[in-house]
């Protein structure tokens, strides 16, 4: 049988089966009422068809406890139904023998620009930075995303099931983030993680200084003043909107909308955690002061190269650090990085997670976690696999506000699951099968379960594009 051709656009049909029936019932005589139009910009994500599946005999890293040896994971109705050593397969279950293999939650990248800065990386589709004003809080990353970016499929093949996509770090206030599931669909609304809050991208340090050197503000004190001025204006806007609602919300008297201030007001209301690009310990401490002054919540410090210096402060404020395993030294504010950064944070009980900020790094988050785990051991800090898996699953989910739905293999959570052909912290490990909400989206050994975008199909030789 000739394998059917899978494209990112036709993935729902392809993942449900290769053949399409040409028959079917005749159209009804009475027109069927149309479904109501969904509200603008809301998620229209719908999980793909799945079947009850039992994965058995594997070493399981749940991100919620110790390694389970020779364990099983039961998936039913797109959710984790059971995890343990004595899980029974229902009569209708597909059984996958994973003896000698490893199972983890789907990996989560809390900081990526794929889709926003799509492949092949030319200016026509590079939409990461709206570098026109130090405050562009009004822009939304999702309005730049190309869902057919081939980088989504490459990340999926690396075991990534969820990612937060952000504007860049040119501006003090860069705009709104969006969390997506890496499913092959046509529109951004179909990718958006249901119920996930947006985040507010902020940036301190060298980037906004450099971008606005000739336009200002051009110093760290100027940047700090810019942050404070933005939030002061948002407080005023917030008061005006609140007063209007308290006085009856008469549409004729509603204060003029300001998209920039709406975003900042949502952060002040606690509905939009700040995701702050910040390398230096001293600047992270200033951002903690800023959050204290205005009452907004910091979801995470991004890059956080010097987080190890203030790990007690970060732990006390329950602020997570997004870090790299060994990427440092490429500019002055990144110069004081150490490879044991993540291990030191883990040792002191501070929240830490890995992130990529790179279209290739997102394909190897498991290897990055292994490097950080090894660096900790070399520094005398014993990091277990059960701890390291949290860096690329439940901890990033926490920073994004989706830890109640995904990030660990616990009953009731979304069945975002990866089967690895060996220990995922081995440099030789491959994600063999990837499930999102219980649906098998990727299978390394089955070309029919390896979604490709139309962009890729258009440039591949005919025989490899099937």
Tokens of 243: 């007063």
Tokens of 84: 């343990």
Residue 252's contacts (CB-CB under 8 Å, 6 or more residues apart) are none
Using CB atoms within 10 Å of the CB of residue 125, give its burial: 0 to 12 exposed, 13 to 18 middle, 19+ buried.
Answer: middle
Question: Within a 10 A sphere around the Cβ of 12, how many other Cβ atoms?
Answer: 16
* Residue 289 forms part of a structural domain: yes
* Residue 125 forms part of a structural domain: yes
Tokens of 371: 């490097």
Residue 374 clears pLDDT 80, i.e. is over it: yes
Output the pLDDT for position 120: 87
Are 9 and 183 in contact, with CB atoms under 8 Å apart? no
Q: What SS3 state is found at 84?
A: strand
Q: Average of pLDDT values for 353-378?
A: 97
d(CA 39, CA 17): 31
Q: Average of pLDDT values for 206-227?
A: 95
The rounded radius of gyration (Å) of the Cα atoms in the chain is: 23
Residue showing tokens 């201030």? 261
Residue 353 has phi, psi (to 5 degrees) of -145, 155
Query: Residue-wise over 416-433: b if at least 16 C-beta within 10 A, else e?
Result: bbbbbbebbbeeebebbb
Q: Count of domains in the chain?
A: 1
* Residue 458 forms part of a structural domain: no
Largest CA distance in the chain: 75
* Residue 64 forms part of a structural domain: no
Q: Average of pLDDT values for 319-335?
A: 95
Output the pLDDT for position 223: 97
Peptide bond into 120 cis (omega under 30): yes
Residue 14 clears pLDDT 50, i.e. is over it: no
d(CA 51, CA 31): 33
* Residue 46 forms part of a structural domain: no
User: Which tens digits make up the pLDDT trace of 140-185?
Assistant: 999 999 999 999 999 999 999 999 999 999 999 999 999 999 999 9
Residue 217 clears pLDDT 70, i.e. is over it: yes
Are 334 and 307 in contact, with CB atoms under 8 Å apart? no
Output the pLDDT for position 459: 67
User: Which tens digits make up the pLDDT trace of 259-315?
Assistant: 999 999 999 999 999 999 999 999 999 999 999 999 999 999 999 999 999 999 999
d(CA 38, CA 298): 31
d(CA 181, CA 156): 10
* pLDDT bracket for residue 3 (50, 70, 90): very low
Output the pLDDT for position 434: 98
DSSP-assigned beta bridge partners for residue 320: 300
CA 232-233-236 angle, 5° bins: 90
Residue 17 clears pLDDT 70, i.e. is over it: no
Residue 207's contacts (CB-CB under 8 Å, 6 or more residues apart) are 169, 170, 277
Are 429 and 423 in contact, with CB atoms under 8 Å apart? yes
Q: Is 144 left (phi over 0), alpha (psi -120 to 50) or beta?
A: alpha
Residue 363's contacts (CB-CB under 8 Å, 6 or more residues apart) are 154, 155, 157, 158, 160
Output the pLDDT for position 5: 34
Strand residue runs (E) in 79-136: 79-84, 94-97, 102-105, 107-112
Residue 26 clears pLDDT 60, i.e. is over it: no
- Distance of CA 176 to CAs 114, 200, 233, Å? 15, 5, 18
Tokens of 329: 């030294």
User: Which tens digits make up the pLDDT trace of 69-84?
Assistant: 999 999 999 999 999 9
* CA nearest neighbour of 166 among 107, 106, 109, 224: 109
* Residue 90 forms part of a structural domain: no
* pLDDT bracket for residue 349 (50, 70, 90): very high
DSSP string, 20-57: --S--PPPPSSPPPPPPPPPTT-----PPP---EEEEE
Q: Average of pLDDT values for 91-110?
A: 97
Q: Average of pLDDT values for 325-347?
A: 96
Tokens of 95: 């059984």
d(CA 406, CA 108): 9
Output the pLDDT for position 106: 98
Interstrand relation of 102-105 and 53-60 (parallel, antiparallel or unpaired): parallel
Q: Please give the residue that has the higher pLDDT: either 12 or 418.
A: 418
Handedness of CA 415, 420, 424, 430 (dihedral sign): negative
Q: What is the mean pLDDT of the chain?
A: 91
Q: Which domain holds residue 381?
A: 107-404
DSSP-assigned beta bridge partners for residue 274: 200, 298
- CATH code, 322: 3.20.20.140
């Amino acid at each position: 049988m000739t394998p059917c051709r899978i494209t990112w656009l036709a993935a729902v049909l392809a993942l449900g089966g290769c053949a399409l029936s040409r028959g079917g019932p005749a159209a009804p005589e009475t027109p069927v009422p149309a479904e109501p139009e969904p509200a603008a910009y809301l998620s229209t994500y719908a999980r793909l068809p799945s079947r009850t599946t039992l994965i058995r005999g594997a070493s399981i890293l749940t991100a919620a406890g110790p390694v389970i040896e020779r364990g099983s994971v039961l998936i039913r109705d797109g959710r984790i139904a059971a995890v343990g050593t004595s899980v029974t397969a229902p009569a209708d279950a597909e059984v996958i023998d994973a003896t000698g293999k490893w199972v983890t939650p789907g990996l989560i990248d809390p900081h990526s620009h794929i889709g926003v800065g799509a492949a092949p990386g030319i200016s026509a589709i590079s939409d990461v930075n709206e570098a026109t004003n130090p405050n562009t809080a009004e822009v939304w990353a999702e309005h730049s995303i190309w869902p057919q970016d081939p980088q989504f499929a490459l990340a999926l093949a690396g075991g990534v099931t969820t990612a937060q996509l952000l504007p860049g770090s040119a501006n003090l206030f860069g705009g709104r983030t969006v969390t997506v599931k890496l499913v092959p669909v046509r529109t951004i609304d179909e990718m958006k993680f249901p119920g996930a809050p947006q985040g507010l991208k902020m940036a301190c340090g060298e980037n906004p200084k450099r971008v606005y050197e000739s336009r200002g503000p051009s110093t760290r004190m100027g940047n700090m003043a810019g942050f404070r001025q933005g939030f002061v204006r948002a407080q005023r806007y917030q008061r005006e909107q609140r007063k209007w609602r308290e006085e009856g919300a008469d549409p004729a008297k509603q204060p003029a909308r300001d998209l920039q201030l709406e975003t900042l007001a949502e952060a002040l209301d606690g509905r939009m955690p700040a995701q702050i690009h910040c390398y230096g310990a001293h600047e992270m401490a200033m951002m903690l002061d800023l959050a204290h002054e205005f009452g907004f919540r910091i979801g995470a410090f991004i890059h956080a190269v010097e987080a190890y210096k203030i790990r007690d402060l970060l732990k006390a404020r329950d602020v997570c650090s997004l870090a790299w395993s060994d990427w440092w030294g490429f500019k002055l504010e990144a110069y004081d990085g150490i490879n044991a950064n993540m291990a030191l944070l883990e040792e002191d009980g501070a929240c830490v997670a890995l992130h990529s900020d790179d279209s290739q790094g997102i394909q190897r988050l498991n290897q990055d976690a292994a490097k950080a785990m090894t660096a900790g051991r070399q520094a005398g800090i014993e990091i277990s696999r059960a701890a390291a898996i949290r860096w690329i699953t439940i901890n990033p989910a926490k920073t994004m506000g989706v830890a109640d739905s995904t990030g660990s293999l616990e009953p009731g959570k979304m069945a975002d699951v990866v089967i690895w052909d060996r220990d995922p912290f081995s440099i030789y490990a491959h994600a063999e099968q990837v499930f999102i909400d219980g649906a098998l989206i990727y299978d390394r050994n089955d070309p029919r379960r390896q979604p490709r975008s139309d962009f890729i199909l258009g440039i591949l030789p005919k025989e490899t594009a099937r």
